[in-house]
Structure 1
């Protein structure tokens, strides 16, 4: 299995990422450093998380070649238009102390109707050489259609909630048909997913942890995954997902856990 996804611009995104949501700024450098030592080469952050500075510090302290690490960050949730986008890019680069590989619109907030203008501002920043790759997060089909209708290349990535209880298959299919890579935030779902009897049974069969089984399910579906973890042991365990495979029957059993909207654990983007 390939450990990277190639986006239309030709760059390769590591499919195993480390999520930093809710990691306190004071803990970020240590936690991200542990992830890099465990083999993660994709770190996901955001202006909203207030921990970009710690991400950059960990990358510098790692001793790794910068181009071997992929950093994803996201605009402030209320960013709107060229001036605010450019200020946000400056703030992210300053906090990281390095370039950002992928910059996303964090939430479309369709009720405000401003995301097409913000997308155009991101495209302009990319054309000016200020951003390498651009994408979106939490976009449904209608919002994707809106920005694609303006022409130009599609977003490199759509980062969405996805896990066995909320597979988000309609959005995933839509993205696949248009060459948009999908990254799963909250890939392990809530505690109920990790405790699901089917997941536990497959984990016993595979001789793996429930979290490893869920992450492997994502990878075999073609997703980028961004698990969070709070201990070095869990960080290392979540990284050990490329040396085993689930068979077709096991994949189907996990597929059947999808609860549709009832399984969603985060906010519905349509209501923001």
Structure 2
């Protein structure tokens, strides 16, 4: 739509519609400020993508103080990719377990992403917590260390065959829960983080609810995978930020008023 077409459309709007549009325009004129944390990544190398994502955050918070959750995060992420003409799977088209969407940035190979979001209190600046990587009903049924080990290794082998990385949006909130997040952080956790699980000995699975270390090539523990028996899910604890890619952060401008 051209500027002239937009003006013509606005001429037909009711006063209520004009007031609504004015608030959106006001939020766009005072957008979230982007800070590139990792230069030249597949996301930060495209300024239009970063700008679009920040504008979407601004418009979201023109209407609400509620943090951008998982479903709207997927929508905003998908729209930002479409804006820069990247190929992205249509909503609801993903058929592979674990994968939320696939995107091909320019001539790059397709990336198959698991999307996560969090607005938990007191988020750490040095570690990341994934409360549910995936469901795993078998956790409650396996009774022996051998069965737990076999099921865990099979699950992570399947996961790593289809998932390129986990993309997580973290919303840092002020102490007052009624306030909108002051900062958003977009990080990427490579699926290869879980490589070492395939080499864990049987002794690591003796507990009914074992916590399995994930080690990098130097042997350093960069995360811990927990088999949550009570909720039948896989939790990932203490993911070291320096084992991830922090693409960018957006500091939210104060919204003048809500829609």
Give the TM bin, normalised by the shorter chain: under 0.3
- TM-score normalised over the length of structure 2: 0.27
Higher relative contact order by CA 8 Å / sep ≥ 6: 1 or 2? 2
Choose between structure 1 and 2: higher strand proportion. 2
- TM-score normalised over the length of structure 1: 0.26
